[in-house]
Structure 1
Amino acid sequence: MITQTPSRPVGVDELKRAWHALNAGEFRAGPRGRGTAAEDNWSPTGGEHTIAVVGSAGSVGASTVALATGLAAGVPVRVIECCSVTASGLAAASTAELGLHPTDWRQGKRDDVLLERASEVLAGVDEVPLPTEAQNETQLTILDIGWEAGQLLATDCWLAEAVRAADQIVLVTTATVPGMRRAGVAMDLLAGYWQPEQIALAVRGPRRKKWPRGLEHAGGPAVRRALDADRCVEIPEDRELAVNGLDSRPVPAPLISAARQLLEPAHLPTDASESA
């Protein structure tokens, strides 16, 4: 007697995604993001500038910094949140939802910023889907990494290569001793791929002049060099944002103003410079 295993019910959404993938010629073998060599590769277009935002730890405000930087830019911009759907910081940040793209990215809009976030649970960095094609000839793409720097750089995947090739790195941390220590470790890892001037340190917390004594030295030589070279941007705390997280309410103006400084090393126009 042959016993048949009951088949798993297939939802309408899944059938639609399969149909779109079939029409697009997307035939992947193995886990998401691990198909053929051609499918594993991604590179920005000729006029696409990339900034990678890396958090030194979870809940340090990397997604907030990524979104604020996008809102401060004066060029067409998209923010790609590369973490699992279970770790999303942008789930409620859109003011208009655009639905699920055939490539598995859930899209939304926030002012003129396109937001793309994962639609499913991702078990590892190598399962992050490839980005959609840039919609503009001149494009700023902000990669909100969402993975620990050591795990990212040790994984053979398109995202690790994209971060290594990014025009600029923003490392986000908090004005605490643990935050600075983790930032120091991450900066040492990142220094193997970028020149120091390509790495900006975004520190969430009080103004630097109000930091506790010894905090500047807690991150070791790498963090100290960034501070001495004025490659540190102070990200102000916002109590309401800290409680509610990112949602459809306006991002505080002081935060956008601080994030605007992160665009200066790349010589990108900002919303302020464009309106001047």
Structure 2
Amino acid sequence: MTELGVDDHGWVHGARDQVRLDRAAGVRTHPDAVPTPSPIDTPVVTVIDVGCPVERLLDGHDWLTSLLIDAGSVVVVARATIPGLRRLESTLHLLDAERTIAAVLGQPRRRWSRAVAHGIGGLTAALVADGRLVEIPEDRTLALHGLTPAPLPARLLTAAGVLLSLIEGNPHHAR
């Protein structure tokens, strides 16, 4: 990833191949403290790691709350663990199921322990049945170092492609 500097709105811009990556400069302790993003001229998929419970955003009145409510697709990320799937299920109860996609980080579903597999709730099971649960393989190098100039693993790119296809194929998704 190449860092391109900080803009007047408080966002650090970066690039990796054809992907533009922006992140808020500095540490934010509350969603209300995240600056409004810089204007963008080209169509994009906006990915925001909110880093807080969805309930906190839904109770807010800032641009992040509006984005969550108005987004065509919402991707909820969870770990393939019992607590991770419980949290996923409770989050799904707060969101519009028709525009929600789950990205589950960890082992493929076929390799989940019996306890983890039985931890799937009804809304998560509906996402599985609809093909809207994407398995994201864990990569130890990325987990340890974050993004580097090294090529991304093929299996991670494949999972990202499936996720992007679901986002773009969602009839609620607006470009």
- Normalised by the length of structure 1, the TM-score is 0.57
CA 1:203–1:139 in 2, change beyond 3 Å: closer, same or farther?
A: closer
Deviation at 1:161, TM superposition (A): 0.6
Residue equivalent to 2:85: 180
* Matches for 1:26-175 after TM superposition, within 5 Å: 95-136=1-42, 138-175=43-80
State the alpha-carbon separation in 1 of the partners of residues 49 and 27 from structure 2.
Answer: 16
- Structure 1: give runs of 5+ residues left out of the alignment: 1-94, 269-276
1:169 alignment partner AA:
V
DSSP 3-state at the match of 1:249: coil
- Normalised by the length of structure 2, the TM-score is 0.87
State the alpha-carbon separation in 2 of the partners of residues 151 and 254 from structure 1.
Answer: 33
State the alpha-carbon separation in 1 of the partners of residues 120 and 56 from structure 2.
Answer: 20
Flag as ranges the 4+ runs of structure 1 deviating above 4 A.
Answer: none
Residue equivalent to 1:241: 142
Residue equivalent to 1:232: 133
Q: Name the larger-Rg structure.
A: 1
State the alpha-carbon separation in 2 of the partners of residues 238 and 116 from structure 1.
Answer: 22
Q: 1:263 aligns with which of 138, 143, 164?
A: 164
1:200–1:231 Cα contact (<8 Å) kept: yes
State the alpha-carbon separation in 2 of the partners of residues 99 and 248 from structure 1.
Answer: 17
1:253 alignment partner AA:
A
- Percent identity over paired residues: 37
State the alpha-carbon separation in 2 of the partners of residues 146 and 135 from structure 1.
Answer: 26
- 1:210 and 2:111 aligned: yes
1:216–1:224 Cα contact (<8 Å) kept: no
Q: Deviations over 1:164-191 (max 9, x none)?
A: 111101111111101111111111111x
Q: Deviations over 1:123-176 (max 9, x none)?
A: 31111111111122x333333333321111111111111111111011111111
2:31–2:50 Cα contact (<8 Å) kept: no
Q: Relative contact order (alpha carbons < 8 A, sep ≥ 6): 1 or 2 greater?
A: 1
DSSP 3-state at the match of 1:164: helix
DSSP 3-state at the match of 1:214: helix
Report how many residues are paired: 169
State the alpha-carbon separation in 2 of the partners of residues 139 and 179 from structure 1.
Answer: 28
Question: RMSD of the TM alignment (CA)?
Answer: 1.7
- Structure 2: give runs of 5+ residues left out of the alignment: 170-175
Deviation at 1:218, TM superposition (A): 1.4
2:12–2:23 Cα contact (<8 Å) kept: yes
Q: Deviations over 1:37-70 (max 9, x none)?
A: xxxxxxxxxxxxxxxxxxxxxxxxxxxxxxxxxx
1:223 alignment partner AA:
T
CA 1:159–1:222 in 2, change beyond 3 Å: closer, same or farther?
A: same
State the alpha-carbon separation in 1 of the partners of residues 101 and 31 from structure 2.
Answer: 23
State the alpha-carbon separation in 2 of the partners of residues 169 and 163 from structure 1.
Answer: 7
